[in-house]
Structure 1
Amino acid sequence: MPASVRYDDVEVGTEIGPERYPIHRLTLVKYCGASGDFNVIHWNERIAKQAGLPDVIAHGMLTMAEAARLVTDWVGDPGAVVEYGVRFAKPVVVPDDDEGVEVVVAGRVAEKLGDKQAVIELAATSGGIDVLAKARAVVQLA
């Protein structure tokens, strides 16, 4: 499925999102199974706190995936992502309640490159705290 966003229709400064992605303890259990990452800090509150964390935390790769989802949903094709990288700034703490937590992701077209590529800068927060830093994707546009 080719990218649906046309290079000529995109301007530097174009805003993408924000989108809100809920994360609950059940989300973490499902991600453990899907990823094979069963580190106890992602599902056991006692162990997470013994490790110095405030509570159970989401997998960094899950947080990273939610940020990438904003980009792939916008561009219309996961295969259009040419490069993607982030730095983890803070963990996403997931309380043991019915509400869980939200990761809010927003993006902005920071630069247009040759070959119909664009650089997307991303911001991801949880509870108003930046959870990703230097989040950036390069996408191939139509």
Structure 2
Amino acid sequence: MLLKKAKVTLIGSVLAKPGLEFVYEGPAEECEGCKMRKVCHNLQPGKKYRIVEVRPTTKHDCPVHLDSVNAVEVIESPIIALIGADMAIVNSKVQYEFPCTRTGCRNFLLCHPDGIIEGEKYIVGEVLGSAPEICERGKTLKRVELRPA
């Protein structure tokens, strides 16, 4: 499997550490008119990213981050999620659909993990086992690591 190339973006200097994972939420109101806006906001909203390298560059002033921003290289981060057992095949490509909308279910956070976008395609990287709780709808679910397709 080919690894996707890292993207360069800006993040708050306090947060700029290799290994940090975050879900990009989009620009804040204060970003309007900022000269660094295009570099800060070149990621896809709702996706989960991991910092792989902090660039040794000059810090830039920022109206959102207290201690300025730093250039970092990020890749899309793998996501742990629940999928139907019939789709839990290593290296297979799946289109992720949220299994249900029962917010009170104990599996809800694994069925709706941060950083996943419904309808996007992912590759099953590893099957980690069965769901921690029995599905209230009677589905057989597996816990998997999903990687960007």
Instruction: Place the TM-score, normalised by the shorter chain, in its bin.
Output: under 0.3
Structure 1 or 2, whichever has the larger Rg, is 2
Greater helix proportion: 1
TM-score, with structure 2 as normaliser = 0.25
Of the two structures, which has the highest relative contact order with CA contacts closer than 8 Å and spacing of 6 or more?
1
